[in-house]
A = this chain, B = another copy of it.
């Protein structure tokens, strides 16, 4: 059973996922993970994954776990957290621990092995974003969960171990520290100004335009004012909405346009870099907030987290966001 442990000083939780453990000699980081001979995420290989929990595109008459799907969501075969059991929160001397209860799912974005997220058409990427929403709506019924993190690791340097296009979902029994910080920051701004800080940011970026990457009717893609890494890009709805899962499919379609365009431009600008994207949304038990505003943060994996970052939480970024955005406005995508 994986375990959640809390650092007694800063309150940071870590997941001790022993079932993913390797021997010390296997911990060396550099080599890219070997791809399996037969990819478990390809159409026709459905038996190689745990049974699906969501699927799109396959006719209802077809049997489950058979080909014919467009997006397919399955439990992770090597989950960081386990779905069965009780939290059993307990003290361990002065420390705090609980069982590593949670859901860890994989969203297979396409049945075709050779296509990356950036290669998906708008309708296909919309189906992926809709699958995110559908899984959140299902999992939030489980009252043990406080937060669902939706994210993608693309490329070995960004932590992906399989090449086939997929994103991930982890449902957590606690609200993670970084999410709390964001929510608290937004709440402070709202208490002071009675405005949403993200709406203020959207306003300034639309007026200023120097950090703008892409804009459509409903979404803005821009380089944030204080990016942690070169070419970091945020995709933010222009209209205030705190919860990702509250978005109707039409608006997810416009989000897919903004996200797809951003990923294509990053690929063109940087030569298909490894990247992560993370959906930031309001916690599950809060269906709507005046101060928080959901968005997606895309982070190319270009800079190393080194001693300075580990020690300070500061990041050193050699590329001003205005330069990155100007570059991204000019490349095709």
Chain B, residue nearest A151 (CB)? B307
Contacts of A6 in B (CB 8 A): 226
Against B, the Cβ 8 Å flags (1 = close, 0 = not) of A289-310 are 0000000010111111111101
Residue A215 lies at the interface, judged by CB distance under 8 Å to chain B: no
Task: Assess whether A143 is interfacial by the CB under 8 Å rule.
Answer: no
Find out whether the CB atom of A29 lies under 8 angstroms from the CB atom of B304: yes
Residues of B within 8 A of A208 (CB): 93
Whether A111 is near chain B, meaning CB under 8 Å from some CB there, is no
CA distance A8 to B227 in the complex (A): 11
Shortest CB–CB separation between residue A197 and chain B, in angstroms? Answer: 6
Which residues does A use to contact B, with CB under 8 Å?
A: 3, 5-18, 20-22, 24-25, 27-30, 80, 92-95, 147, 149, 151-153, 157-160, 168, 170, 172, 176-179, 181-182, 185-186, 189, 197-198, 200-201, 204, 208, 224-228, 230-231, 269-271, 273-274, 276-280, 297, 299-308, 310-321, 323-324, 327
Please give the count of copies of this chain that the complex contains: 2
- Residue of B at shortest CB range from A272? B28
Say yes or no: A25 contacts B318, CB within 8 Å. no
A297 and B20 CA atoms in complex are apart in Å by 24
Contact B24 A327 (CB under 8 A): yes
The answer to whether B227 touches A10 (Cβ under 8 A) is: no
Tell whether, in the assembled complex, residue B318 and residue A22 are in contact, meaning their CB atoms are under 8 Å apart. Answer: yes
Q: Which single member of B5, B270, B312 contacts A225 (CB below 8 Å)?
A: B5
Residue pair A225, B314 in contact (C-beta under 8 Å): no
**Contact partner of A312 among B177, B189, B314, CB < 8 A?**
B177
Alpha-carbon separation in the docked complex, A21 to B299 (Å): 18
A311 near B21: Cβ-Cβ < 8 Å: no
Contacts of A3 in B (CB 8 A): 320
The answer, among B80, B170, B271, B314, for a CB contact under 8 Å with A15, is: B314
Contact yes or no, A313 B178, CB < 8 A: yes
